[in-house]
Amino acid sequence: MTTPPGPRASTLAQRKRQLVSTELTETALQLFAHKGFEAVTVDEIATAAGVSKRTFFRYFASKEDVVVQFLAGMGADIRAELAARPAGERPSVALLRAVSVPLAACGEESDRTLPVVRLILRTPALLARFLEHEAGWREELAGELAARLGTGPAELYPALAAGMALTAFETVLCRWSEDPAGPGPLDLIERAFALLAPALDADVTRE
């Protein structure tokens, strides 16, 4: 009778998988930034990471999926932060803090993230995946806002507010990628929300 692996064995296996996934991701993103997305092959990524092509496909279905994972991490950070904000906080503040989480990471690790952001925004296939993910984020943020404000799913405000916040997020990424020597992502998003706050908070000022 085979003894099932204990918690420690499972934890070690999970840690190993995470290390391999991280190494593949970092290697692929560096190659994409240096050579361009289209020029890099899966074979090249695997070789540079010191694993087999078969191992690569255990973690990613395609080289696009490496970048998609980067985007998924951004979306998860935004959702988690919005859910964690105080219930009575103004929508403009809660949304600003939520979208600031991945932007802060971009600013703090600009040497690594700036090439990836540029790659996504300048590669049609990757930009399409970014916009696809952004649409999903908008639905999730709208749902979270509706729950926070006690409004129904058919109300206009949650969807519009989520869309405004993510438009600001995307605009900041574009501006920062074009002029990294200028204001940083956090400074830019603060400026953007200073403009958006009156509209974002208009629905709750009556309370």
Instruction: Return the DSSP state at 39.
Output: T
| Residue 19 banded pLDDT, cuts 50, 70, 90 | confident
Task: Find the mean pLDDT for residues 156-173.
Answer: 95
| Residue 5 banded pLDDT, cuts 50, 70, 90 | low
Closest listed residue to residue 104, CA positions, set 74, 136, 79, 133: 74
Cβ neighbors of 4 (< 8 A, separation 6 or more) are none
What pLDDT digit, counting tens, does each position of 38-74 carry?
899 999 999 999 999 999 999 999 988 888 877 888 8
Q: Please give the domain boundaries of the chain with CATH numbers for all domains.
A: 8-59 (1.10.10.60), 64-201 (1.10.357.10)
Q: Which pLDDT score is estimated for 205? A: 40
Cβ neighbors of 117 (< 8 A, separation 6 or more) are 106, 173, 176, 177
Task: Find the mean pLDDT for residues 131-142.
Answer: 92
Q: Which pLDDT score is estimated for 11? A: 83
Distance CA 113, CA 17 (A): 22
Alpha helices (runs of H) in 88-123, residue ranges in sequence order: 91-108, 110-122
What pLDDT digit, counting tens, does each position of 104-133 carry?
999 998 988 898 899 889 888 889 989 998
Residue 197 · residue 91 · CB < 8 Å: no
